[in-house]
Amino acid sequence: MSPTSAPRFRPADLVALAEALFRSAGLDAEKAAVTAELLVEADLVGHDTHGLALLAPYLEEIRKGRLARTGEPRVLADAPAALLWDGQYLPGLWLAARATDLACERAARLGTATVVIRRSGHIGCLAVFLWRATARGQVVLLASSDPSVATVAPHGGRRAVFTPDPIAVGLPTPAEPILVDISASITTNAMSARLAREGRKGPAAWWIDAQGRPSDDPRVVEADPAGALLPVGGLDHGHKGTGLALVIEGLTQGLGGFGRVEAPSTWGAAVLVQAWDPALFAGLEAFTRQTGELAARVRACPPRPGVEAVRVPGDQAAARRRAALEQGLVLAPAILAALEREARAAGLALPAPLPD
Amino acid sequence: MSPTSAPRFRPADLVALAEALFRSAGLDAEKAAVTAELLVEADLVGHDTHGLALLAPYLEEIRKGRLARTGEPRVLADAPAALLWDGQYLPGLWLAARATDLACERAARLGTATVVIRRSGHIGCLAVFLWRATARGQVVLLASSDPSVATVAPHGGRRAVFTPDPIAVGLPTPAEPILVDISASITTNAMSARLAREGRKGPAAWWIDAQGRPSDDPRVVEADPAGALLPVGGLDHGHKGTGLALVIEGLTQGLGGFGRVEAPSTWGAAVLVQAWDPALFAGLEAFTRQTGELAARVRACPPRPGVEAVRVPGDQAAARRRAALEQGLVLAPAILAALEREARAAGLALPAPLPD
């Protein structure tokens, strides 16, 4: 949490700056606009490792020519409930947003549909795509893996085989949607790197070193030889996280037909988007009655000592988003500094902060 | 593990006995045959809490009229990639096997398809349905919840809201399929009940008591007031298991339009089957190249001290199945005793064990 004296920015002003920076780096208008909006959206909901923190790395990828500035995904299959795109390393947030919209359109016709993207640029945090589907009364699941990276060990192992392999699902309810955003590893690469940079430890054995010793120290990932993040379930029941990782890597890279076999070196993503339209099953109202009941039962669950209340995933994101839209967004000092650096280099200025 | 002196039975003989028992209880021929075969299949792959151990409880449900002997599921929607059945509490193994076959047929035409069953009878263990899809080169996901039961607490809570909410996925490879069979809770109801019955503890805090104290004692579930099983991730990162539970209960009960809102009292299941046909994405060969590579990387991962080898989910099931088919199946004493009781009551005998 930042002190209240930290500058607060209007989210729309930050979107405008990010969009201008992407445009000045050569991105098409629509790609710049969508990428900027979705990065700020991640900050709005509290995923600040996957918000404007990614702006400078993305600009760097564009400058180095590893992220395409312009073009369209190539359609490799259209089945009609199964679509496969070659993303050609176009900006991943833009690709995934379009894939989500297309999956929803097809689901509205067919009941369910899958869009798989191979060779997508990095897609940031999956949570930001869920609203596009839940706002139209649909259910969506996104999963992704990056075959160019391995930081997570399988259960019983001491070397990385997988990426964290995030999976996110949005479920409409009569009120705010349930937004689940988890990964097959206990923590994420971004969080692990942040803890390491700040010299902090994790609250439990979230890592394993190269010798196979469980560790609460994120620096084992950067050691030589390198350790790894542990899968969900940790030492006790990490076969569950390992199973989830195999499902996510298998679906994304397998259906895409591009993955660890090709051993790509470009930072990117293999993405699966699955949409379901409740209207073509038992109806949207029947769906939200059940999800509303589930959410109510979770909220009514008495908490264990030391826990204030039992939360439904998505509640905190919605509250943060409301607060940031009303009171402005505070950026962590390192993120703000990087944004200012990029702005200055492009001859632009940070927006004026909101008055205290 | 049973001693080698325990009787070993030919799996086909056990299927024949179970089939005869279901028929004598009044089940249709096909329902009796499929249910018997799939219960023994669960034993073959080592899921002995969900194999013939369920025969006596299923017969009891049939006798009490809570499991229908005859009839067909009612088709409530056909979209064409989205199907919804009212299972009318017909035998769940038979329903889920048919739903899996239908999802695969539709996926072969459309790329992906979903079959949801509401008011299914209990469906045993999800792993036994995966081969039907992987054997035809397809990918399948099954998930289920039982809205008549709650034994799993959400993260931070001390009262049960969910069932264990299993999810299983089968992924073809060039060799044996990857078979993931996990749940959103650390352990299952059946395993928890078995540990409690045998006076054993869990290896870690897999439970929480009604006062909110973490516990390694499965008996807290049967205490008054009752405790609960903990979600995957436990006290440390149980929000991940909670998220998974909400996804599984939301999809199965929400798309089915029948669940905790109706508060049913019949032991049953809300089921989702999703199939994908790799042939309509990048092709089956492209798919299995990636999944084969993933499996090879997991197997090649150096194990941590104390672990013999890192395993791919499905390897152990395949090995157990091969061994049982070659050397016969050993049933735990309590399961064998219950089977013998049911056989005697129906005027049938146990099959002759294989010679030592």
- State how far the Cα of A179 lies from the Cα of A156, in Å rounded to an integer: 31
Say what the pLDDT of residue B4 is. Answer: 54
Cβ–Cβ under 8 Å, residues A67 and A350: no
Examine residue B61 and state whether it is found in any structural domain, yes or no.
yes
Contact A260 B290 (CB under 8 A): yes
Q: From B118, which residue of chain A is nearest by alpha-carbon distance? A: A282
Same structural domain for residues B106 and B44?
Answer: no
Return all residues near B149 (Cβ < 8 A) that are at least 6 apart. B163, B189, B267
Contacts of A178 in chain B (CB under 8 A): 246, 250
Same structural domain for residues A252 and A215?
Answer: no
Last residue of a domain, one of A214, A229, A244: A229
For the beta carbon of residue B64, count every other beta carbon within 10 angstroms: 9
Say what the pLDDT of residue B127 is. Answer: 94
For the beta carbon of residue A201, count every other beta carbon within 10 angstroms: 14
Residue A3 pLDDT > 80: no
- Reported as a single tens digit per residue, the pLDDT across A283-316 is 999 999 999 999 999 999 999 999 999 999 999 9
Same structural domain for residues B29 and B76?
Answer: no
Residue A62 pLDDT > 60: yes
Q: What is the CATH number of the domain that holds A274?
A: 3.30.1370.60
Write down the H helix ranges in B178-332: 189-197, 234-249, 255-256, 284-299, 315-327
Residue A2 pLDDT > 60: no
Same structural domain for residues B79 and B161?
Answer: yes
Residue closest to A59 by CA, chosen among A350, A250, A338: A338
Q: What is the CATH number of the domain that holds A209?
A: 3.30.60.50
Examine residue B263 and state whether it is found in any structural domain, yes or no.
yes
Q: Which two tokens stand for residue A183?
A: 């990964």
Q: From A182, which residue of chain B is nearest by alpha-carbon distance? A: B240
Write down the H helix ranges in chain A: 11-24, 29-44, 55-63, 92-110, 130-134, 189-197, 234-249, 255-256, 284-299, 315-327, 333-345
Facing B287 at nearest CB: one of A83, A154, A257: A257
DSSP A105-161: HHHHHHSEEEEEEEEEPP---GGGGHHHHHTTT-EEEEEEE-TT---BPPTTBSS--
Contact A254 B283 (CB under 8 A): no
Q: From B250, which residue of chain A is nearest by alpha-carbon distance? A: A291
Cβ–Cβ under 8 Å, residues B318 and B176: yes
Residue A5, min C-alpha distance to chain B (Å)? 32
Examine residue B336 and state whether it is found in any structural domain, yes or no.
yes
Examine residue B293 and state whether it is found in any structural domain, yes or no.
no
Examine residue B14 and state whether it is found in any structural domain, yes or no.
yes
Contacts of B139 in chain A (CB under 8 A): 250-251, 254-255
Range of the domain at A110: 75-180+236-311
Give ipTM to 2 decimals: 0.96
Average pLDDT, rounded, for chain A: 96
Contacts of B133 in chain A (CB under 8 A): none
Q: Which of A74, A106, A112, A208 to mutate to test the interface with B (most CBs of B within 10 A)?
A: A112
Residue A4 pLDDT > 80: no
Handedness of CA A285, A289, A291, A295 (dihedral sign): positive
For the beta carbon of residue B292, count every other beta carbon within 10 angstroms: 17
Main-chain phi, psi angles of B120, to 5 degrees: -85, 150
Contact A81 B111 (CB under 8 A): yes
Contacts of B212 in chain A (CB under 8 A): 302-305
Q: Is the peptide bond before B177 cis (omega within 30 degrees of 0)?
A: no
H or E element that contains B86: strand B82-86
Contact B247 A169 (CB under 8 A): yes
Last residue of a domain, one of B281, B306, B339: B281
Strands A112-120 and A82-86: parallel
Contact A282 B180 (CB under 8 A): no
Q: From A85, which residue of chain B is nearest by alpha-carbon distance? A: B281
Cβ–Cβ under 8 Å, residues A222 and B280: no
Q: What is the CATH number of the domain that holds A38?
A: 1.10.1530.10
Same structural domain for residues B241 and B165?
Answer: yes
- State how far the Cα of B19 lies from the Cα of A176, in Å rounded to an integer: 48
Examine residue B313 and state whether it is found in any structural domain, yes or no.
no
pTM for this predicted structure: 0.96
Examine residue B29 and state whether it is found in any structural domain, yes or no.
yes
Contacts of B161 in chain A (CB under 8 A): 294, 297-298, 301
Residue B40, min C-alpha distance to chain A (Å)? 24
DSSP state of A226: -
Say what the pLDDT of residue B318 is. Answer: 92
Same structural domain for residues A60 and A157?
Answer: no
Residue B156, min C-alpha distance to chain A (Å)? 6
Identity of residue B344? R
Say what the pLDDT of residue B5 is. Answer: 75
Cβ–Cβ under 8 Å, residues A218 and A207: yes
Facing A281 at nearest CB: one of B82, B159, B261: B82
- State how far the Cα of A299 lies from the Cα of B175, in Å rounded to an integer: 46
CA angle B162, B157, B223 (to 5 degrees): 75
Same structural domain for residues B160 and B269?
Answer: yes
Q: Give the SS3 label for residue B31.
A: helix
Average pLDDT, rounded, for chain B: 96
Q: Give the SS3 label for residue B96.
A: helix
Residue B308, min C-alpha distance to chain A (Å)? 9
Q: Give the SS3 label for residue A333.
A: helix
Same structural domain for residues A157 and A9?
Answer: no
Q: Which two tokens stand for residue A93?
A: 């947030």
Contact A169 B287 (CB under 8 A): no
- State how far the Cα of A17 lies from the Cα of A348, in Å rounded to an integer: 8
- State how far the Cα of A271 lies from the Cα of B119, in Å rounded to an integer: 33
How do the pLDDT tens digits run along chain B, 356 residues long? 444 579 999 999 999 999 999 999 999 999 999 999 999 999 999 999 999 999 999 999 999 999 999 999 999 999 999 999 999 999 999 999 999 999 999 999 999 999 999 999 999 899 999 999 999 999 999 999 999 999 999 999 999 999 999 999 999 999 999 999 999 999 999 999 999 999 999 999 999 999 999 999 999 999 999 999 999 999 999 999 999 999 999 999 999 999 999 999 998 999 999 999 999 999 999 999 999 999 999 999 999 999 999 999 999 999 999 999 999 999 999 999 999 999 999 999 999 999 98
CA angle B240, B244, B246 (to 5 degrees): 115
- Reported as a single tens digit per residue, the pLDDT across A68-121 is 999 999 999 999 999 999 999 999 999 999 999 999 999 999 999 999 999 999
Same structural domain for residues A295 and A332?
Answer: no
Same structural domain for residues B269 and B343?
Answer: no
| pLDDT band, very low/low/confident/very high, at A5 (cuts 50, 70, 90) | confident
For the beta carbon of residue A343, count every other beta carbon within 10 angstroms: 19
Examine residue B205 and state whether it is found in any structural domain, yes or no.
no
Same structural domain for residues B135 and B48?
Answer: no
Number of domains composing chain B: 2
Q: Which of B262, B280, B311, B316 to mutate to test the interface with A (most CBs of A within 10 A)?
A: B280
Same structural domain for residues A246 and A323?
Answer: no
Facing A254 at nearest CB: one of B110, B291, B301: B291
Cβ–Cβ under 8 Å, residues B299 and B309: yes
Contacts of B169 in chain A (CB under 8 A): 243, 247, 250
- Reported as a single tens digit per residue, the pLDDT across A199-232 is 999 999 999 999 999 999 999 999 999 999 999 9
Contact B253 A212 (CB under 8 A): no
How many residue contacts between A and B have a Cβ separation below 8 Å? Answer: 320
Facing B250 at nearest CB: one of A154, A178, A260: A178
Which residue, chain included where needed, has tokens 């054997």?
B135
Strands A82-86 and A74-78: antiparallel
